Amino acid sequence: MICQGCHLVAGSFLCERCRRDLRPAPERILQGGIRVVAAFEHVGVARDLVLGLKYRGLTYFADLVVETIARRALALPVVPVPRTWSRQVRYGIDPAREIAIRLARAHGSPMLDLLSPPFHTSRRAGGDHHRPPPRFGMRRPPEGRIVLVDDVVTTGATIVSAASVLGPGRIALVIAANLADTVSSQR
Ligand SMILES: [Zn+2]
C-alpha cells in the first residue's frame, strides 16, 4: 500500500511518520455559541489528506477522522453540510457526507440529508474568505438536536449559514475533519 501522506510504501494508508505529523485541533466556539470539535489542525499531512478526500475521493481519511473523533461526538442524528452541486458533480464526492455516514454508523444514529446545497458558489477553500458563505436550502426541519458535520472549518461562516437555516438551537455540536487557523482572517 502507498502512504497517502508521503507516497512511500507503507503498511496502511498512512505510515507511522505521517501519522505522527497529525496534530489534534483545539475546540472552537463560533458565533452564536456553536461548538466545533475537529479531529486535526488543517496543516501538513492532515491538510493533504483532506484535499485527497475532497478532490480525489480518497475516503480512508474519513475513516481516520471518525476513529479519532467519534468518542467526542454525541449520539444524535448526523447532518452533513452539503458540498455545492457543481463540485459534487465535478469531483464525484461530497466529503462531509462521507464523514457523516461513518459517524452515524459509529453511533448507530441516523444520517439525515436535511440541507440542500447551492448549485454553485464562489470558491472559499484556501482563498478569499471575505466572500459571502453558501446559502443552503432545507429539505425538512430537524425534529430535535443534531450533530452537524463538515470537512474543514475555517472562519465558520459556512457553519453559521447552515445553522441559520436549521435553527441555531438545533445544533448540539459541529464535527469537522480539520480546523484551519483563522486568526489572520478574523481580524
Ligand atoms: Zn507517509
Instruction: Give the model confidence (pLDDT) of 99-142 as tens digits.
Output: 999 999 999 999 999 999 988 776 555 555 667 888 999 999 99
Domains recognised in the chain with CATH numbers: 23-186 (3.40.50)
CA of 137 to the centre of ligand 1 (A): 40
CA of 46 to the centre of ligand 1 (A): 11
CA of 11 to the centre of ligand 1 (A): 10
CA of 15 to the centre of ligand 1 (A): 4
CA–CA separation, 184 vs 122, rounded Å? 20
Q: What is the pLDDT of residue 129?
A: 60
Q: What is the pLDDT of residue 184?
A: 43
CA of 5 to the centre of ligand 1 (A): 4
Cα-Cα end-to-end distance for the chain: 43
CA–CA separation, 87 vs 122, rounded Å? 11
CA of 108 to the centre of ligand 1 (A): 32
Q: What is the pLDDT of residue 66?
A: 98
Q: What is the pLDDT of residues 8-56, one digit of tens each?
A: 999 999 999 999 999 999 999 998 899 999 999 999 999 999 999 999 9
Percent of the chain with pLDDT strictly greater than 90: 85
Protein residues with C-beta less than 5 angstroms from the ion ligand 1:
3, 5-6, 15, 18
**How many H helices and E strands in the chain?**
7, 7
CA of 72 to the centre of ligand 1 (A): 26
Burial classification of residue 88, based on how many CB atoms lie within 10 Å of its CB (0-12 exposed, 13-18 middle, 19 or more buried)? middle
Q: What is the pLDDT of residue 55?
A: 96
Q: What is the pLDDT of residue 187?
A: 35
